[in-house]
Structure 1
Amino acid sequence: MATDARLATHVWVGAWLTRARLMGLPVYVAAHGHDEAGAVIVKCATLDGRARAWARSWDLMTGARAWVVFAEGEEREVDAAMARERARDPDLWLLEIEDRQGRSLLDEPGLSD
């Protein structure tokens, strides 16, 4: 019997927040989604008026999950796209990080998968 070994969302969010804080990066939970199965969007503001946001998606060719760019450009436009998505999905988590280098930490071991 196969089981779904996916990590509860709140556990992954906690790990991401901890990793960012240990690196001294400001991070925020802009919207708290469903603890067990909420989707996540991560926004990185580069403190120059621009931002990029990523969402988890399925790679149709491999069946693997991957982080893909959800929105990028002027920070207010990225925020508006995130707000629209949150209005459609109240279980969605919105996370924000501020980093001039544009690091999202989504490629870090334990956070990328």
Structure 2
Amino acid sequence: MTMSARVTSAFWMSAYVRRVFVEGAFAAVVRRGSEEAGAIFVIVDRLDGTADLYSQAPQSAFGDQRPRDRLFMRVMEAAERPDLSKRIESELRFDPDLWLVEIEERTGRSFLETIDPDKL
């Protein structure tokens, strides 16, 4: 059985930022994490005072199957900035090697492959 190597977080992030720009939105890496395997969080700023937060779906959600690409799940929707900041601070205490990218997209497009956390 051959397992394909997963791309590094740094490589994935670089490709993701390019994709966001190609789609006509703006992206900025707010925090650089571990180059090899840092967890990735994405903030989608709707430019109306609210934002959505996405995190990588936990590997335990896939059982023996390993997805080909990173999958994400929305963990906060239309959140106010103070609430979003508290959540990010909490995540940073748990994992100081995480990546954080923020995109500006009025309609809330995340450009991520997502799963429904209720189906985990």
- TM-score class, shorter-chain normalisation, is 0.7 to 0.9
Match of 1:35? 35
Unaligned runs of 5+ in 1: 109-113
Contact 1:9–1:34, Cα closer than 8 Å, also in 2: yes
Post-superposition offset of 1:82: 1.2
Which structure has greater helix proportion? 2
Separation in 2, partners of 1:44, 1:36: 24
Question: Residues of 2 paired with 1:107 and 1:44: CA distance?
Answer: 14
Judging changes above 3 Å, is the alpha-carbon distance between structure 1 residues 62 and 51 closer, same or farther for their aligned structure 2 residues? Answer: farther
The sequence identity of aligned pairs, in percent, is: 32
Matches of 2:113 and 2:3 in 1, distance apart? 26
Match of 2:75 among 67, 70, 78: 70
What stretches of structure 2 of length at least 5 have no aligned partner? Answer: 115-120
Matched, 1:6 2:6: yes
Matched positions, count: 108
Residues 28 and 61 of structure 1: CA distance in aligned 2, closer, same or farther (over 3 Å): same
C-alpha separation between the residues in 2 aligned to 1:12 and 1:6? Answer: 9
CA RMSD of aligned residues (A): 2.2
